Amino acid sequence: MVLAEQGGDSPLRPPPHRRNLPRYHSHRSSSSCSCRCCWCWCCCFLLLVLVIVIAITAYISLIIKPRVPTYSVDDFSIGDLNLNPTDLTIRTKFIVTVRAKNPNDMIGIWYKNGSYVAISYRNTLLCSGCLPSFYQGHHNTTVMRVVLEGQSKLGAEVHGVLEENRRTGRIPLDVFVRVPVGLRVFNIDWRQVTVNVTCALVVDGLSPDKKVGIKSADYKVDVDL
């Protein structure tokens, strides 16, 4: 049957048959969603772990109440001091008695190998040595005898100031101590830190045949975590 337009001669034809092409759905959106979900879960997990670690650290800190150990120089003696007036080379041997106090209730301290002790005068190193390795329990005070030896050359200006200080009986010395220590909590070796001690020491003389008196000592303790 042929349909004709009204008022026209051309017949109406039905539109051509269109074939439905198959459609393929992309999986990109679903995989992207999965990646975002996985990333969110990872972030939440890491955040949870961080919160737990902070909470445990805070709890341990509240329970054990960590405190920095204290140090003092109890005695200072001269084993040898020989100054060559020709080239201003000075050879020294100092014996220092150090008192270390652990004030903690639940923390023991391992003083490990690798420590360094030095005494200098106006930025000139005079002698050096090391602390013994030992374990110090909580609420313990340990007295150490440390022998320091060295040889260095003084500048003319430094030598002049040293002689003037010896005449006035006030010789300023800088003592520096660096020691790695291990912390033991509840009989468990916890972690290792480095203790740095600086001491501005003033003595009344540097004569080997005379007892040295300590006029003043100013200490500063710093801990590298």
**Residue 6 confidence class, pLDDT cut points 50, 70, 90:** very low
CATH number of domain containing 88 = 2.60.40
Per-residue model confidence as pLDDT tens digits over 108-155: 999 999 999 999 999 999 999 999 999 999 999 999 999 999 999 999
Per-residue model confidence as pLDDT tens digits over 74-93: 999 999 999 999 999 999 99
DSSP the chain: --EE-TT-SSEE-PPPPPPPPP----SHHHHHHHHHHHHHHHHHHHHHHHHHHHHHHHHHHHHH-----EEEEEEEEEEEEEEETTTTEEEEEEEEEEEEEE--SSEEEEE-S--EEEEEETTEEEEEE-PPPEEE-TTEEEEEEEEEEEEEE--HHHHHHHHHHHHHT-EEEEEEEEEEEEEEETTEEEEEEEEEEEEEEEES---TTSPPPEEEEEEEEEEE-
Domain count, the chain: 2
Question: Are 131 and 46 members of one domain?
Answer: no
- Classify residue 78: in a domain, yes or no: yes
Question: Are 50 and 78 members of one domain?
Answer: no
**Residue 4 confidence class, pLDDT cut points 50, 70, 90:** very low
Domain limits for position 75 = 70-224
Sign of torsion, CA 90 91 96 100? positive
pTM: 0.74
Q: How far apart are CA 56 and CA 93, in angstroms?
A: 48
